[in-house]
C-alpha cells in the first residue's frame, strides 16, 4: 500500500473515538497500514499531542475488538498519531495544517498521498473541501482522496448541491461516500455468496422467490443525538443509505458495479399512494430488557409534539427481469425488541403436499449482526411420514471477522472503491424517496406509535399480510 497521511476532521468526536481509531489500531496490529504512515487528528479542543494520544489510548482500551495494553505495538501506533487545532472555516488553520502534513511527509518519506476523512457534520463539508483546495493541501504530487460520512444531504436537491461543492475540490473518482453497512463482512460477503454459488444464483429470482425481507432493528433509542435525529428520522438516518444499500447488495446480479441499476429500477411510489406502501412509526414509552424506557417525545432534545419517524418500513418492487414481481419488504427502527440486521429470502410455496404436516416455505437467511451466519430452511419427511423442517446453518465464530471500519479504512487508503456508496446510488435513493418525503411533510402517511421494546407498529405487519406474508 502507498505510504500516506490520514487527515481526520472530527478527531475528538464520537465516531473517531469508538470506531475510527480502534479500526486503525487493528489494521496496525495486522500489519495492514502503509509502511510510511501518519495520522493527523483535527479538532477544536485545545489538546496537546500527549493529551490527545492519551485519549486515543483510552478509546483503544474501551473499543478495540482486541483490547489494548501497554505493548510495544500500541506505543508504536500512538507515535503515528498527531493532533492539531483547527477551526473548519479558518483559512490560516489550513496553512498550518499544510506545513504540518508536509513536515510529516518529509520525516516519513511519504510522497504526498493524503486521505482527508470528514467525520464532522455535513454542514461543514463544503467549506472544508474549498479550504483544502485553496490552501494547497489538495495540490502537489501524490494522490489526494476525500472520504465523507453520512448523512449526505436531506433530499435530492441538497445532496446534489453538496456533491457539486465537493466536486469543485476533488475529482469524482477521488471521493469516497462512506456507508459503514457496506463495510460489514456479511454484507461484503453477499456478493461472493451469490455469485460463487450457482446453486443460489439459480433460485434467487422471480421464478422461485416469493418475497425478500430486510430488517435492521435496534434496541437503542435516540440517545444524545436528538439535535440531529429529530430532523432526520429513520427514513433519512437508516433507510436512505444503509437499508437501500442492503437492498442493492441483495438484488444485484453480477458484481458491485451493477448496484446502481437495481435502485434505478425501483418502481416509484407516488406521494398520494405512499400510505399504501410505507409505514412510519415513533416509539412510545415501553420496557426493554426489564427496564422502563421513555418514549421518543420524552427524550432530551426532541421537539415538543415531534412527528419524526423512529421506525420506517416500505414495500418496494423492482422493474427488472430477474426480480420483477417480487416484493421487497424493508424495515428499520429504534427501540425495538432486539438488535438484529438480517436478510431473509422466502421461497414460493412447496409444490408437493404431504399427507399430513404442511411443509413450510423454504427460506434463506443471511444474518449480518450481531450474529454472522447463513441458514437455509429445508423440508424433509419425518418419521411419521409428514413434513419435518430442518435447517442448515453456519455461524461465523464471534470476533473472527474484522469490524466494518477496518475494511473501509483499509480500502480508502489502498484505493479500492468497491465498498463505498457511489454518487449515482445516492442520487437514485433520494429520487426514489422524494415523493415519500413529500407525503410525510404533508402528513399523508399516518404516524403510528409503538411501545418501546416491541417489533414496531402493527401497521408494519399488515403491510405484509395484505400479500399473504409475515415478517420472518
Write out the catalytic residue numbers.
Answer: 242
Least distance (Å) between residue 412 CB and ligand BG6: 17
Q: How far is the CB of 368 from ligand BG6 (least distance, A)?
A: 8
Residue closer to ligand BG6 by CB (options 237, 372) is: 237
- Which residue's Cβ lies closest to ligand BG6? 237
The least distance separating ligand BG6 from the CB of residue 185, rounded to whole angstroms, comes to 12
Shortest Å, Cβ 288 to ligand BG6: 15
Minimal distance, residue 411 CB to ligand BG6, in Å: 17
Smallest gap from residue 212 Cβ to ligand BG6 (A) = 19
- Shortest reach from residue 22's CB to ligand BG6, in Å: 13
By C-beta, is 82 or 150 nearer to ligand BG6? 150
311-336 b/e (C-beta count within 10 Å ≥ 16 → b): bbbbbbbbebebbeebbbbbbbbbbb
Q: Which is nearer to ligand BG6, 138 or 310 (CB)?
A: 310
Which 327-346 positions form the footprint of ligand BG6 (CB under 6 A)?
A: 341
Please say which residue, 341 or 362, places its beta carbon nearer to ligand BG6.
341
2, 102, 155, 218: which one binds ligand BG6 (CB under 6 A): 218
Query: Of the two residues 36 and 233, which places its CB atom closer to ligand BG6 in the complex?
Result: 233
User: How many residues bind ligand BG6, per CB under 6 A?
Assistant: 5
User: Which of 3/341 has CB closer to ligand BG6?
Assistant: 341
For ligand BG6, the binding residue among 93, 237, 299, 406 (CB under 6 A) is 237
Comparison of 152 and 440: residue with beta carbon closer to ligand BG6: 152
- Interface with ligand BG6 (CB under 6 A): 218, 220, 237-238, 341
Amino acid at each position: 500500500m502507498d505510504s500516506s497521511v490520514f487527515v481526520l476532521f472530527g478527531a475528538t468526536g464520537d465516531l473517531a473515538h469508538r470506531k475510527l481509531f480502534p479500526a486503525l489500531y487493528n489494521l496496525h496490529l495486522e500489519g495492514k497500514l502503509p509502511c510510511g504512515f501518519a495520522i493527523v487528528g483535527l479538532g477544536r479542543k485545545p489538546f496537546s499531542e500527549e493529551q490527545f494520544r492519551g485519549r486515543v489510548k483510552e478509546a483503544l482500551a474501551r473499543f478495540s475488538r482486541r483490547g489494548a495494553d501497554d505493548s510495544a505495538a500500541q506505543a508504536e501506533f500512538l507515535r503515528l498519531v498527531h493532533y492539531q487545532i483547527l477551526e473548519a472555516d479558518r483559512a490560516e488553520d489550513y496553512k498550518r495544517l499544510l506545513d504540518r502534513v508536509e513536515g510529516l511527509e518529509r520525516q516519513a518519506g511519504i510522497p504526498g498521498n493524503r486521505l482527508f476523512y470528514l467525520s464532522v457534520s455535513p454542514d461543514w463539508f463544503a467549506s472544508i473541501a474549498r479550504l483544502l483546495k485553496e490552501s494547497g493541501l489538495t495540490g502537489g504530487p501524490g494522490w489526494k482522496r476525500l472520504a465523507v460520512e453520512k448523512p449526505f444531504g436531506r433530499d435530492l436537491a441538497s445532496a446534489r448541491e453538496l456533491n457539486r461543492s465537493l466536486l469543485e475540490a476533488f475529482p469524482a473518482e477521488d471521493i469516497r461516500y462512506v456507508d459503514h453497512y457496506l463495510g460489514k463482512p456479511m454484507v461484503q460477503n453477499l456478493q461472493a455468496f451469490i455469485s460463487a454459488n450457482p446453486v443460489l444464483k439459480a433460485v434467487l429470482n422471480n421464478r422461485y422467490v416469493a418475497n425478500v425481507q430486510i430488517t435492521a432493528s435496534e434496541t437503542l433509542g435516540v440517545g444524545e443525538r436528538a439535535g440531529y435525529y429529530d430532523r432526520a428520522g429513520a427514513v433519512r438516518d437508516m433507510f436512505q443509505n444503509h437499508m437501500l444499500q442492503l437492498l442493492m447488495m441483495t438484488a444485484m446480479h453480477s458484481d458491485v458495479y451493477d448496484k446502481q441499476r437495481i435502485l434505478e429500477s425501483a418502481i416509484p411510489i407516488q406521494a398520494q399512494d405512499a400510505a399504501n406502501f410505507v409505514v412510519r412509526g415513533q416509539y412510545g414509552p415501553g420496557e426493554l430488557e426489564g427496564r422502563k424506557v421513555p418514549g421518543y417525545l420524552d427524550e432530551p432534545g426532541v421537539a415538543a409534539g415531534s412527528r419524526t419517524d423512529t421506525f420506517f418500513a416500505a414495500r418496494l418492487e423492482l422493474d427488472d427481469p430477474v426480480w420483477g414481481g417480487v416484493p421487497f419488504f424493508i424495515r428499520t427502527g429504534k427501540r425495538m425488541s432486539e438488535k438484529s440486521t438480517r436478510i431473509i429470502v422466502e421461497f414460493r410455496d412447496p409444490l408437493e403436499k404431504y399427507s399430513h404436516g404442511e411443509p413450510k416455505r423454504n427460506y434463506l437467511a443471511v444474518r449480518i449482526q450481531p450474529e454472522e451466519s447463513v441458514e437455509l430452511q429445508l423440508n424433509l419427511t419425518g418419521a411419521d411420514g409428514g413434513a419435518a423442517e430442518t435447517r442448515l446453518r453456519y455461524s461465523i465464530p464471534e470476533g473472527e471477522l474484522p469490524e466494518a471500519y477496518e475494511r473501509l479504512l483499509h480500502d480508502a487508503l489502498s484505493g479500492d472503491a468497491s465498498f463505498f456508496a457511489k454518487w449515482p446510488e445516492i442520487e437514485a435513493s433520494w429520487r426514489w424517496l422524494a415523493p415519500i418525503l413529500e407525503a410525510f411533510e404533508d402528513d399523508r402517511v399516518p404516524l403510528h406509535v409503538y411501545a418501546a421494546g416491541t417489533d414496531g407498529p402493527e401497521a408494519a405487519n399488515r403491510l405484509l399480510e395484505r400479500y399473504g406474508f409475515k415478517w420472518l
